[in-house]
Amino acid sequence: MLPLLRFAPSPTGRLHLGNARTALVNWLFARHHGGRLILRLDDTDRERSTAAFAAGIEDDLRWLGLDWDAHYRQSERGAVYAAAFARLQAGGAVYPAYETADELQAKRAAQRAKGLPPVYDRAALQLGPAERSALEAKGRQPHWRFRLSGASVGWSDLVQGDIVVPGGSLSDPILRKADGGWTYTLASVVDDVDLAVSHIIRGDDHRTNTAVQVELFRALGAEQPAFAHLPLLTGPGGAPLSKRSGDGSVHDYREQGIEPHAIRLVLASIGTDRQAAPETSLEDLVETFDLARFGRTSAVLDPDALTRISAAVFQSLPLEVVKQQSGLADLTVAEWRVLQQNARTPGELRAWHRLLREPLAPVIEDRALLETAADLLPEPLPDAETAAAWLDAVKQATGAKGRALMHPIRLALTARDDGPKLADLLPLLGRERALRRLRGETA
């Protein structure tokens, strides 16, 4: 049977690179094995989930080149969850509890103060019918908890190897809220059962969730999927990437001009035994994908390395793709050939293109040298060889060489102290524009 996977983000914020990595690995696994991928929006958090975040996640995934074979929203599947909950209730697997959020928080704080794990004490199981009726008469509505077995839970993880989670560290999870809403724990497991998900690939911070969900799979009479827990991505400071911590989102990197394929290359390689070169295609990533290549420890995301790889990817793109990404329909082959190594993003390319095509106020540093340079400027100025010969003539006439020669001319022609070789750049500027800038005129 071909694998069926799911990427299940919560639309409570923009997609950060840790989420994107999970999406990419699920997508690569599905495509490598000829399987299918579900996009499921886990939007049971009614207060924080928004349509804008949901649309943003889908847009970011498409920008990364990731597609999906089916799409679900948990907010639309309440009837499925109700049916599963009724089965659990009929089997005595759930029980009502009446503590408020503040009371539960106080219990957890007291347990932590004693050095104990913040595990629910099952006080609700001590309530008799009369006590429950009295609480409900006062307006208390119960939330419903799933009763765990108390035994340790283990599984053979496709990345982490054999995992065992002690039963004493697990707390009976809430499946249904006091307002009638469904929690992530129930909805996620019921969806995985109902949709026949075969593999769950997610971050290693889900180990405890997995242990609880394994018991819930069993209670529902379902076979549990295969699990793979990826080591978390961290920033340079060592903290796991998180949208709540304000780490850069995929949208932020898009705004910076980072190439989507650069993100794919980094996220497919980080934490593995290989590094994908900038020329590696998406098809190559699919063909060579192997979950066994991922290590078991966290991997540090280097934003500078991502920027360098993005520059290499952008600079290797065909001219027609560059035109489309940069919005420069009139970019010529000659311009791209000269600007290629100095334009790391579409935005930088646009800036260089404006320098060639639009008026610029020159920066004048050595007026005497520039006047000599203007007087010696040849007519015409057809190619880099002619431009190089002109620069040599200016050197001979003024005695200036090295930076003393090149820097004033570069500032006058580009108002920048970096960029392509002047001999390559001059023919693109054209003689008339170059002459006016050397004379200190806006051109």
The 10s digit of each residue's pLDDT in 207-249 is: 999 999 999 999 999 999 999 999 999 888 777 776 555 557 8
Q: How far apart are CA 261 and CA 239, in angstroms?
A: 25
Q: How far apart are CA 163 and CA 287, in angstroms?
A: 29
Judge whether 233 and 301 are in contact, CB under 8 Å.
Answer: yes
> What are the tens digits of pLDDT across the range 412-431?
999 999 999 999 999 999 99
Contacts of 321 (CB under 8 A, 6+ apart): none
Percent helix, strand and coil across the chain, each to the nearest 5: 50, 10, 35
pLDDT of 337 > 70? The answer is yes
pLDDT of 350 > 80? The answer is yes
Residue from 234, 241, 183, 235 nearest 209 by CA:
183
Specify the DSSP class assigned to residue 270.
Answer: T
Question: What pLDDT was estimated at residue 242?
Answer: 65
Q: Span 1-28, mean pLDDT? A: 96
Question: What pLDDT was estimated at residue 244?
Answer: 54
Question: What pLDDT was estimated at residue 274?
Answer: 84
Q: How far apart are CA 351 and CA 179, in angstroms?
A: 55
Question: What pLDDT was estimated at residue 240?
Answer: 75
Q: Span 182-203, mean pLDDT? A: 97
Determine what percent of the chain is predicted with pLDDT higher than 70. Answer: 99
Q: How far apart are CA 17 and CA 271, in angstroms?
A: 14
Residue with tokens 């990533």: 285
Question: What pLDDT was estimated at residue 46?
Answer: 86
Helix (H), strand (E) at residue 214? helix 207-219
* Residue 363 burial (C-beta neighbours within 10 Å; 0-12, 13-18, 19+): middle
Judge whether 132 and 106 are in contact, CB under 8 Å.
Answer: no
> What are the tens digits of pLDDT across the range 250-263?
999 999 999 999 99
Query: CATH topology for 4-73+189-233?
Result: Rossmann fold (3.40.50)
β-pair type (174-176, 199-203): unpaired
Q: How far apart are CA 296 and CA 163, in angstroms?
A: 12
Q: How far apart are CA 246 and CA 256, in angstroms?
A: 16
Q: What are the C-alpha distances in Å from 325 to residues 66, 340, 348, 351, 357?
A: 18, 14, 12, 14, 19
Question: What pLDDT was estimated at residue 47?
Answer: 87
Residue with tokens 């827990």: 229
pLDDT of 142 > 70? The answer is yes
Question: What pLDDT was estimated at residue 247?
Answer: 59
Q: How far apart are CA 77 and CA 70, in angstroms?
A: 14
Q: Span 60-82, mean pLDDT? A: 97
Question: What pLDDT was estimated at residue 170?
Answer: 96
Contacts of 269 (CB under 8 A, 6+ apart): 275, 276
Q: What are the extents of the domains in the chain?
A: 4-73+189-233, 80-176, 319-357, 367-438
Judge whether 227 and 203 are in contact, CB under 8 Å.
Answer: no
Q: How far apart are CA 437 and CA 443, in angstroms?
A: 6
Q: Span 167-186, mean pLDDT? A: 96
β-pair type (299-300, 233-234): parallel
Residue from 298, 156, 316, 148 nearest 224 by CA:
156
pLDDT of 334 > 70? The answer is yes
Query: Looking at the domain covering 80-176, what would its CATH class be?
Result: alpha beta
Q: How far apart are CA 223 and CA 276, in angstroms?
A: 36
CATH of domain 367-438: 1.10.10.350
Q: How far apart are CA 189 and CA 218, in angstroms?
A: 10
> What are the tens digits of pLDDT across the range 22-43?
999 999 999 999 999 999 999 9
* Residue 327 burial (C-beta neighbours within 10 Å; 0-12, 13-18, 19+): exposed
Q: Span 182-205, mean pLDDT? A: 97
> What are the tens digits of pLDDT across the range 103-134?
999 999 999 999 888 999 999 999 999 999 99
Determine what percent of the chain is predicted with pLDDT higher than 90. Answer: 92
Q: How far is CA 90 from the centre of its chain?
A: 42
Q: Span 327-340, mean pLDDT? A: 97
Specify the DSSP class assigned to residue 206.
Answer: G
Contacts of 320 (CB under 8 A, 6+ apart): none
